[in-house]
Amino acid sequence: MPKYSSGEAEIGQMREEDLDEVVEIEKRSFVAPWSKRLFLETLSFPLSFNLVIRKKVDKKVAGYANFYLIGDDVQILNIAVAPELRREGYATRLLGRAIALLVERGGKEFFLEVREGNSKAIELYGKLGFVKVGRRKKYYTETNEDALVMHLKVDDAPDR
């Protein structure tokens, strides 16, 4: 996959050598973070699609996202941006580019779960055309928080 450059960031395929930075962002972002081993397994899974967004100035990983593409369904597994870089557009660029790439590969319907209390993420997904379609009670076992299930059908997506 060729690199994609936008403003002060570039998006490329996640590689094993990115994982120390990815895991550090993961630990700072989630109550129950993924392990390095889980990221490694995801990288090697044939139906996975894994991206990082880097700051152009120092090439450090600013954020990442992991997806499964199964048929024409895309499951968004994980997305995070370093806490100090949030609200600067990294997640919007990363997710927008990922959606475009996955559509090129046949993705038509995108699904994700998000913590009910994560209003900033819900706002981001809504801006990209996702709508709430369900709820998973106590999905996040470490906090007993419900997950909202969100869906995007590419025909419904706003222009990127």
Residue 160: pLDDT band by 50, 70, 90 thresholds? very low
Q: Strand pairing of 145-153 and 9-13?
A: unpaired
Residue 144 pLDDT exceeds 50: yes
Which residues face 11 on adjacent strands?
4, 53
Question: Residue 119 is part of which domain span?
Answer: 4-156
Convert the pLDDT of each residue in 25-61 to its tens digit: 999 999 889 999 999 999 999 999 999 999 988 999 9
Say which amino acid occupies 13. Q
Collapsed DSSP state (helix, strand, coil) of residue 7: coil
Confidence of residue 7 (pLDDT cuts 50, 70, 90): low
- The mean pLDDT of the chain is 91
CATH number at residue 140: 3.40.630.30
